[in-house]
Amino acid sequence: MGYIGVKFNPVVSTSAFLLLGLGVDDSYVLMQAYHMSAKTLPAHHTIEDRIADTLRHAGVSIFFTSVTDTIAFLVGISSVFPSIQQFCAYTATGIAFAFTYQVLFFGAALALDAHREYMEVPFWYGLIGKGWLWADKYDAKKVTH
């Protein structure tokens, strides 16, 4: 943000904790929608259906929360105090990036984990380097639940 003239100050350093809280909250919302989608979808749904249903329900909530928070901090840029202006500029930008991260990266990671779940591979296989996407038993056409 220094390239566009917004300076960093000690107050701005607290925005990292605020952004961390917002990101964790968005993750919880996505995970809850993912778990609820197993109950609402038909019996033989695909992973794509489940991720689409998750993002359809949780994405709306995350989107409006991020938009309203970003607007609130953009309004805060009009403050007369330079430190508050800088804090609000950094935080509004961070919220926009956090939303993009949640939808693109976390959604993709959730889809990869759904493949692991549907193949009934233990989660710790990924921790010891065995992998699950390139296993012998993997067949994308048969991965339905």
Digit-coded pLDDT (tens) for 1-48: 666 677 778 888 899 999 999 999 999 999 999 999 988 888 788 888
Question: In the numeric block, which tokens belong to residue 102?
Answer: 């949640």
pTM summary value:
0.79
Lowest mean pLDDT among 9-13, 19-23, 82-86, 139-143: 139-143
Q: Mean pLDDT, to the nearest integer, of 58-76?
A: 95
**Count of structural domains, the chain:** 1
What is residue 9's predicted lDDT score, i.e. its pLDDT?
81
Q: For the purposes of burial, counting CB atoms within 10 Å of the CB of 87, is it exposed (0-12), middle (13-18) or buried (19 or more)? A: buried
Q: Rounded mean pLDDT of the chain?
A: 84
Domain that holds residue 82: 2-142
Question: Could you tell me the CA-to-CA distances from 10 to 14, 15, 74, 87, 93 in Å, in that order?
Answer: 8, 10, 19, 9, 17
